Amino acid sequence: MTANMLPFADAASAGLPMAQLLRLSLFQVSVGMASVMLLGTLNRVMIVELNLAAMIVAFMIALPVLIAPFRALLGFKSDTYRSAIGWKRIPYLWFGSLWQFGGLAVMPFALLVLGGDVVHDIPFAGEVLAALAFLMTGLGLHMTQTAGLALASDRADDETRPRVVALLYVMFLLGMGASALIIGFLLRDFTSLTLIRVVQGAAVVGLALNILALWKQEAVRPMTKEEREAPRPKFADAWADLMRGGTAGRLLAVVFLGTIAFNMQDVLLEPYGGEILGLSVGATTTLTAMWAGGALLGFALAARMLSRKANPYRMAGGGILAGVSAFSIVIFAAPMNSPTIFFAGALMIGFGSGLFAVSTLMAAMAMPAQGLAGRGLALGAWGAAQATAAGSSIAFGGALRDWVNHMALSGQLGEALNNPATGYSVVYHTEIAILFITLVALGPLVRTVSARSDQPDQGPNGIGLADFPT
């Protein structure tokens, strides 16, 4: 076997060799680990071991989502940052790493105070300290990922950029999967001291990974005093410039709607398998593996097609159609009482969401071709739309299922719908409806790119991968 046979071996380029690319991708492992801590491990610890109210837990987990809209501002700041040595992305990667480290470092103590393990009882001290820890970690996570993606996009060339994006997504998934297994194993015998060791250990590992990732990744370009002190463009002007591109606003709407459609079922898929199909805890746990496997297939297909200069908007449409098929399959699993169909639907959901996410991310990279808007602003806007939609859709999906099931099981919807599967089915049908709305919003983008790509002599104004800004 040679190195060329390895996955993503063709993602390297002269400007970004494989060794530096793999090292840079470590920031995604760090972000994946922090995401697992916030959304999985600490969620369970607060509810089960610390006996906190679910409302307080939901509020804490929602705090990092509230920071997500600021990713566009963080990306813009990294576009326009000026320093004596000319770095733009590295300072934001560094300070994002510090925020992430600081939040995780103080989080176990804040959670223990929130759980009542105190010497001096100060009103609301636990709530305030825990909220600050979650905010710090969320800010660091978003800042690190936005600057890291922008840096990877800057360094990759036109031909390898799609495969670099797919590789970074795979590293994010691997970081989440490996972290979930390791942290879950370390916390199997819970004590307060174990919680402190594990969470602070994650903080140290995250900081170390980010330092390895950013080391010597951005060239030093000394700037004169006049260049450093020159007036910077305003965020409002750059945002307006981005929106004037014609496709930016519609693409962000597509990302927002599509992410809502794919993520409403995030907290419902496993309960659906257990409550409706009677699957065991071990069987429903494998749903995550099925979803991740489908997402990896979507990433691989996206990398292959984009490297052949495929239209990213058409590929996003393919991901949406795969999602429509996936949710239809999941709906039919209940009346047919077929776990096999259910697992196939979970695999298809992962495939559709992965293909949609990578395709829209590549389209976002193509937006700031000129003017005040840079790649950091575009990627920040994409990340803000995706993260905000994901957080809000999960809460909306759970609330919709509870509300519909309350009416159905109380007989308000009639005898035919007096079934616990009714609430889940309504959520899945809603997701299908939103996917069709997303497809309608996506249509003009596909036509615009197709019309421009059909022109025989595009010159430097084309929208193919070869014309992405460098």
For 217-238, write each residue's pLDDT tens digit.
Answer: 877 777 666 666 666 666 666 6
Q: 69, 59 in Cβ contact below 8 A?
A: no
Q: Rounded to whole angstroms, what are the CA distances from 277 to 281, 306, 468?
A: 12, 38, 48
pLDDT, position 333? 86
**Predicted confidence band at 457 (pLDDT cuts at 50, 70, 90)?**
very low
For 72-100, write each residue's pLDDT tens digit.
Answer: 777 777 777 777 777 888 888 899 999 99
Flag the least confident range among 171-185, 357-371, 449-463. Answer: 449-463
Q: 65, 259 in Cβ contact below 8 A?
A: no
Flag the least confident range among 39-48, 108-117, 388-397. Answer: 39-48
The most distant pair of C-alpha atoms in the chain lies apart, rounded to whole Å, by 77
Q: Is the pLDDT of residue 454 over 50?
A: no
Average pLDDT over residues 121-139: 85
Residue 406 CB contacts under 8 Å (≥ 6 apart), including other chains: none
pLDDT, position 322? 92
Q: 42, 200 in Cβ contact below 8 A?
A: no
Nearest CA to 92 out of 66, 70, 62 is that of 70
- Which domains are assigned to the chain? 21-233 (1.20.1250.20), 246-449 (1.20.1250.20)
Q: How far apart are the first and last CA of the chain?
A: 34
pLDDT, position 241? 63
Residue 109 to residue 166: CA distance in whole angstroms:
37
Q: Report the residue count for the chain.
A: 470
**Predicted confidence band at 468 (pLDDT cuts at 50, 70, 90)?**
very low
Q: Tell me which of 8 and 415 has the higher pLDDT.
A: 415
Q: Tell me which of 383 and 344 has the higher pLDDT.
A: 344
Residue 183 to residue 282: CA distance in whole angstroms:
18
Task: Enter the pTM of the model.
Answer: 0.69
Q: Is the pLDDT of residue 207 over 90?
A: yes
Vertex 247 angle, CA 243 and 252, to 5°: 75
Query: In the chain, what percentage of residues exceed pLDDT 90?
Result: 11
pLDDT, position 325? 92
Q: Tell me which of 233 and 196 has the higher pLDDT.
A: 196
